[in-house]
C-alpha cells in the first residue's frame, strides 16, 4: 500500500483530485452561507482556512509532483489537516456542551499582513455563534462531519509521508 501511495504522490492527477476534494467542502460551506443563509462562526471560518490550506498544498504539489516541493506540500497538508481537526473538535465540543464560559471569539483574528476578512468578507467574515446548531445530516452537525473529514486527510497525509521514505522513487510503467 505504501508503494502505491508513493507512486500516486508523484502523479499530478492525484494531487488535483485531492485539490478538488478539499475545495468541495469550502464550496458547500459557501452554499450553506449564501443560499441557505446559515451564519458562519469564527471556528467555521478557521475550518475553511484549514481546508483551503489542504487545497493550497494540493495545488503546490500538482505544479511539480516529482520534485522536492512535494515534501513541502505534504508538510502543509499535514499541518492544515491537524489544525483543522483541532478546530473542528473544539467546535463540536462547544456545540455538544454549550456554556457561557466556553465560547469562541466574536471576530476572526487574522494576522495584520493577511486580513482575509477585509479582503474577501463574503468568504471570511464571521457572523454566527459557535455553540449554535444550525445544520444536521445523519444525526451529525457540520463540525462533527468536518472532524471526520480532517481526520481522514490527516491519516492519508501520514501514510503518504511514510510512503515517501520507505519506498524511494521508482520508475513505473
Active site residues: 41, 44, 48, 104, 130
Burial pattern 118-128, b for ≥16 Cβ within 10 A else e, equals eeeeebbebeb
Burial pattern 92-103, b for ≥16 Cβ within 10 A else e, equals bbbbeeeeeeee
Q: Which contiguous run of DSSP H or E holds residue 170?
A: none
Contact, 39 vs 122, CB < 8 A?
Answer: no
Contact, 67 vs 77, CB < 8 A?
Answer: no
Query: Angle at CA 23, nearest 5°, toward 31 and 86?
Result: 95
**Cα–Cα distance for residue pair 139/121, rounded to 1 Å:** 31
Q: Which of 13, 145, 17, 141 is nearest to 66 (CA)?
A: 13
Amino acid at each position: 500500500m505504501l508503494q502505491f501511495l508513493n507512486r500516486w504522490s508523484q502523479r499530478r492527477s492525484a494531487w488535483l483530485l485531492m485539490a478538488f476534494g478539499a475545495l468541495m467542502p469550502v464550496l458547500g460551506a459557501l452554499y450553506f452561507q449564501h443560499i441557505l443563509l446559515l451564519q458562519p462562526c469564527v471556528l467555521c471560518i478557521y475550518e475553511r482556512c484549514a481546508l483551503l490550506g489542504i487545497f493550497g498544498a494540493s495545488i503546490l504539489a500538482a505544479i511539480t509532483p516529482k520534485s522536492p516541493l512535494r515534501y513541502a506540500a505534504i508538510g502543509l497538508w499535514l499541518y492544515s489537516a491537524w489544525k483543522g481537526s483541532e478546530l473542528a473538535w473544539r467546535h463540536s465540543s462547544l456545540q455538544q456542551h454549550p456554556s457561557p464560559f466556553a465560547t469562541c471569539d466574536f471576530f476572526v483574528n487574522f494576522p495584520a499582513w493577511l486580513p482575509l476578512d477585509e479582503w474577501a468578507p463574503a468568504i471570511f467574515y464571521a457572523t454566527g455563534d459557535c455553540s449554535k446548531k444550525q445544520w444536521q445530516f445523519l444525526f451529525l452537525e457540520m463540525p462533527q462531519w468536518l472532524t471526520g473529514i480532517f481526520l481522514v486527510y490527516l491519516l492519508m497525509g501520514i501514510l503518504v509521508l511514510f510512503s515517501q521514505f520507505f519506498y524511494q522513487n521508482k520508475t513505473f510503467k
